[in-house]
Each structure stands twice: as structure tokens, then as C-alpha cells.
């Protein structure tokens, strides 16, 4: 009887991890909703000539409707209607709203059918914990993840809608918090972008210290701080292009030499040494140094 062939396990160098086919556009909040006139643009040459939301529309042309998900907002109906009007003014032919307000809706096949026909989704701002609490583990999350992984499906989000894209996800902590251990609360986000923590309104609200605490707790995670009216277009799960007016701050702790956050008591200041920080302006490109997930 012939013996079965033994297949040697692939080494990490030989194994390859497929990249997601979709596009992510997280936005730092307070994105500009109207184009500037030529006279206004000439007075302020630092302002981006094209709206961030125009990029969302352009990426989706011919690929299906934009589905706005205003779940994070306390005024969901108003937020949904606002983005319908904005996207239509920017040339989107078909915009729909999926106003999910409980987990039963997030598992409703009739609502899911809207997502199956969409070219992409737009998460509005509000409270990111509402997004994870109401959508986490539901059919809505699963369908969006599957389509983003295997198709050229677009996921955009602003403020809370951007923060919820990542894993881990910040959901509580004052703007001036972060210096003391346990001031920042994190949970699992919607997991479209693994091992990256997104924070928004980053420069305006002085959030660099709270990002440093997240990186100190797990230096394998990359911090991505987005300023207002600034975003990134992410392809292949890691290739990043900066768009908008402001700055994107990348906080990389992979090569940090030491931290004592595991030793100090809650409420005490912590130390982390040798963080790498990159500050990227409009048009810059960057490859996120995230570790590919290999499952054997």
C-alpha cells in the first residue's frame, strides 16, 4: 500500500496572506461639505481642491448605490438625509439610508438585501460604541466584511464611523486623557482594519497622548490619528494615501525599547520609550507596517 505523501508546512516566508479587495476611507470628522469657489480657493491655497466626500463618490461610480448607515448618530434620520443630499450634489446617482437602530434590524434579511446590491457604505459620526453594540456579530457586519474582503467594495466613515473601523477601538476617554494608566477604554471594533487603532479630530483635540497609551498596551498595534477634514484612502488593507486639508499622524511602537504600563498601578503615569511618529500631509503615501495574519 503506497504511503501518503507528507507535505512540509510552509514557513512564514513562504506563506502568503491575501489582501482585501475593497477600499477603506476613514475621515477625521468635520469634513467640508461644499466646494469652495475659485476666489475662496485662491485666498487659502492650503485647502484641498477636492472634497473628501467627492473621492467617495468617484470611487463608487458605476459600482452600485451608496448606502448611508447613520446608526452612530443620535439624530439618525437627519444625518442620513444630510448625506443623501450631499452625495447627490456630488454626482451620486443612487443613495440609500439603512437606519439600523437595534440588533434585530441588523439581522433582517430584507435590510441585508440592500447591502448586497450596494457599491459601498458610509458610516456617519456619533457614538462608535453604538455601532459595535448594535452591529457587532450581526449579518450586517458579516456581509460588509465579506464584500470588503472579496470585492472592490468601499467602506467610508467619518469621526465615530472611522474610529469603529479598526481593532482595537477607542470608545471612552477625555480629549486631555491618556497620561494615566486606564484613563482610556478600548474594545473590539468592526474589524475592517486589523491591528490598527484609529482616532479622529486628532490634532484639534490633542489626542496624541491617549493614542500612546493604546500603543503602550500592545506595541504590535499601529496608531492612526486623523485630523478634521482629513482622511486616508486605504487599499490592499495597508497601502495608505492621505487626502484632505490636515495631517495624519502614524504612531508606531513596534520597535519601542521599553514600557512600564504593565507594572504601574491604575491612575499612575506610564512610560514608553522610542515610539516612532510620522506626520503625513495631503498626497503622501505610506504602507502600514502591520503584521500579516497567518493561520495554518
201 classed as catalytic: yes
CB 87 within 8 A of CB 158: no
Q: Is 283 left (phi over 0), alpha (psi -120 to 50) or beta?
A: left
Matching residue, cell 469603529: 164
Catalytic residue among 31, 227, 228, 241: 228
Question: What's the length of the chain?
Answer: 296
Q: Which residues pair with 258 in a beta bridge?
A: 273
Residue pair 219/256 in contact by the 8 Å Cβ criterion: yes
Helix or strand (DSSP H, E) at 86: helix 76-89
Cell matching residue 35: 466646494
Q: Which of 73, 201, 227, 241 is labelled catalytic?
A: 201
Selection from 288, 286, 194 nearest residue 241 by Cα: 286
Residue 19 is among the residues annotated as catalytic for this protein: no
State the Cα–Cα distance between residues 180 and 250, nearest whole angstrom: 21
Annotated catalytic, 228? Answer: yes
Look at residue 43 and give its three-state secondary structure: helix
> Which cell numbers in the block locate residue 108?
433582517
Question: Which candidate in 159, 166, 227, 241 is catalytic?
Answer: 159
Residue 4 CB neighbours (<10 A): 6
Residue 246 Cα to chain centre, angstroms:
17
Catalytic residues: 159, 201, 228
Amino acid at each position: 500500500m503506497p504511503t501518503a505523501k507528507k507535505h512540509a508546512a510552509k514557513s512564514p516566508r513562504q506563506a502568503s496572506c491575501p489582501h482585501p479587495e475593497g477600499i477603506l476611507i476613514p475621515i477625521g470628522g468635520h469634513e467640508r461639505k461644499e466646494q469652495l469657489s475659485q476666489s475662496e480657493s485662491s485666498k487659502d491655497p492650503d485647502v484641498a481642491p477636492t472634497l473628501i466626500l467627492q473621492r467617495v463618490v468617484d470611487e463608487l461610480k458605476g459600482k452600485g448605490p451608496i448606502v448611508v448607515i447613520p446608526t452612530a448618530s443620535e439624530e439618525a434620520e437627519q444625518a442620513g438625509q444630510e448625506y443623501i443630499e450631499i452625495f447627490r450634489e456630488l454626482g451620486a446617482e443612487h443613495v440609500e439610508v439603512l437606519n439600523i437602530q437595534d440588533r434585530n434590524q441588523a439581522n433582517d434579511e430584507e435590510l441585508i438585501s440592500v447591502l448586497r446590491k450596494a457599491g459601498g457604505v458610509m458610516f456617519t459620526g456619533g457614538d462608535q460604541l453604538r455601532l459595535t453594540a448594535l452591529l457587532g456579530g450581526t449579518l450586517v457586519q458579516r456581509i460588509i466584511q465579506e464584500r470588503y474582503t472579496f470585492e472592490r467594495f468601499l467602506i467610508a466613515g467619518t469621526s465615530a464611523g472611522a474610529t469603529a473601523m479598526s481593532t482595537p477601538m477607542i470608545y471612552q476617554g477625555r480629549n486631555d486623557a491618556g497620561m494615566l494608566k486606564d484613563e482610556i477604554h478600548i474594545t473590539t471594533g468592526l474589524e475592517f482594519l486589523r491591528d490598527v487603532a484609529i482616532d479622529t479630530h486628532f490634532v484639534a483635540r490633542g489626542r496624541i497622548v491617549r493614542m500612546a497609551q493604546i500603543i503602550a498596551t500592545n506595541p504590535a498595534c499601529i496608531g492612526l490619528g486623523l485630523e478634521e477634514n482629513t482622511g486616508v484612502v486605504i487599499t490592499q488593507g495597508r497601502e495608505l494615501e492621505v487626502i484632505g486639508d490636515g495631517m495624519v499622524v502614524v504612531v508606531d511602537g513596534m520597535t519601542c525599547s521599553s514600557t512600564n504600563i504593565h507594572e504601574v498601578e491604575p491612575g499612575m503615569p506610564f512610560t514608553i520609550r522610542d515610539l516612532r511618529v510620522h506626520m503625513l500631509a495631503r498626497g503622501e503615501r505610506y504602507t502600514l507596517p502591520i503584521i500579516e495574519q497567518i493561520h495554518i
